[in-house]
Structure formats: structure tokens, C-alpha cells
Amino acid sequence: MLKINRLASMKKIILIIFISTISAQVKYPADSLLESDNISYMKKIFIYPITRWQRISYNSNIFNCQFYPSCSNFCAISLKDNGLIMGAIIGADRIIRCNPSALYYHQKLDGVYNDTDGRLIDFVEPKLYQKGVKSPALAAILSIVPGLGRIYTGRIYDCFYSMINLAITWKGSSIALKTNQKILAPIFTTAFATLYMAEIYGSWRAAKYYQPLKKNKSNN
């Protein structure tokens, strides 16, 4: 019975992807980066899968992103502006933060929203940031032990989701290395390393940009 349910769920996912791809529009946001003459071919190789993903995510409410720009656009812009390594790290941190607690944290910061659809505005280079009492340097140092930095910055839910991603990629890397999987081993190992660096960067970013402002008490 369980196998039948899993098979049915898999068929639904495949059907959604197929219909989304068939009904997809011609142009998507990340496509413009592929057409740009100011972006290297190496960057375009890494941006290309994002353009394929947008043909699915932009045509299905299931994969709709709560952020503006969306996580796929955020990652593409980050790769363009920050290079392949740092761009991937910054993008991975955004994906970690795109979890069910994102609205809660955005409200705590009195964050701004996109006028057309109400999504949470969060740019690669923040236009507005909130200086708090947390030290970005200390947050990054604490994150050498995964989780401590995000806890220090008050983003416990982000810590939880980051730990899940790290655990999955670490386990996948361990199994792939033990079984001598020549393709999966480097993929999982690279994913783990990227997420680990995203943990450090994300804690630094949270301390620097995502701290609630202290409200001044009015004099009576």
C-alpha cells in the first residue's frame, strides 16, 4: 500500500513538471543573464540550470517562492555578481532561509513587501539593513560549530533547517564515498561544503543585516 501511494505521488510530481514545462512561457528572468555579453561562459553554465528550473517553478503554485526576488533569481544574480564560489554560498544561504519561518522573521524586522504580490523583499545586496548589537564577526566565528552562529543571531528556525540540509548532504557524501560513487560523491561533498560555508556566511549576514531595530522609548 505504501509503495502504491509513493508511486502515485511520484506520478503527480512528474505530471506537474510536464504540464508546467509544456505551458511555460518563452522568456524567464534568468534568461536575460544567459543573453548578456558581460557574463562569462563559465557563469552561464551554472546559471543555465536555473533557467530550466524557472520554467517549472514559475508555472506551478507548489514551487512558488515567498521571496522577492525569488530564490532562483537571487541565486542567478548572486552567481553573476559574486562569482561561482561566493555566489553559490550566498545562494545556498537564501535557500536555507526560504523556510516556513521566513515571514515570522521578516515581520520581526518590520521588513518591506513587494507591491504587486506581497512577497518578502530580500536582495542579494540589501538595500536597507538593521544594525543591532550582534557582532557579525563573532557570529561567523561561532558558526565554525554549525548552528551556534544562527542561534547567536536569534534565528533558531534557520539553524534547524540548516542542520537538516547539512545532515542530509553529509550522509549522502559519506555513503557515496564509501560505495565509490564517482559522480554522486563529488556532488554531495561539494553540496555539503557549500552549505557549511553558507552556514558561516548566513550567520554573518544575519548579524549584520537581519537584527530587529531597537525602538526608542518616548519621553513622557
- Indicate the helix (H) or strand (E) that contains 174: helix 156-178
| CA separation, residue 129 to residues 63, 111, 125 (Å) | 28, 10, 10
What local confidence, expressed as pLDDT, does residue 22 receive? 46
| CA separation, residue 133 to residues 17, 21, 154 (Å) | 45, 47, 12
Facing residues of 68 across strands?
A: 121
pLDDT tens string 49-96: 999 999 888 887 788 899 999 999 999 999 999 999 999 999 999 999
Does residue 204 contact residue 140 with C-beta atoms inside 8 Å?
yes
Q: Tell me the average pLDDT of the chain.
A: 87
What is the distance between the alpha carbons of residues 23 and 208, in angstroms, rounded to a whole number?
A: 42
| CA separation, residue 12 to residues 81, 137, 162 (Å) | 37, 46, 28
Does residue 134 contact residue 153 with C-beta atoms inside 8 Å?
yes
What local confidence, expressed as pLDDT, does residue 24 receive? 47
CB atoms near residue 63 (< 10 Å): 17
Helix (H) and strand (E) counts for the chain? Answer: 10, 2
What is the band of 128 on the pLDDT scale with cuts at 50, 70, 90? low
Please give the residue that has the higher pLDDT: either 96 or 21: 96
What is the distance between the alpha carbons of residues 129 and 107, in angstroms, rounded to a whole number?
A: 14
Please give the residue that has the higher pLDDT: either 8 or 159: 159
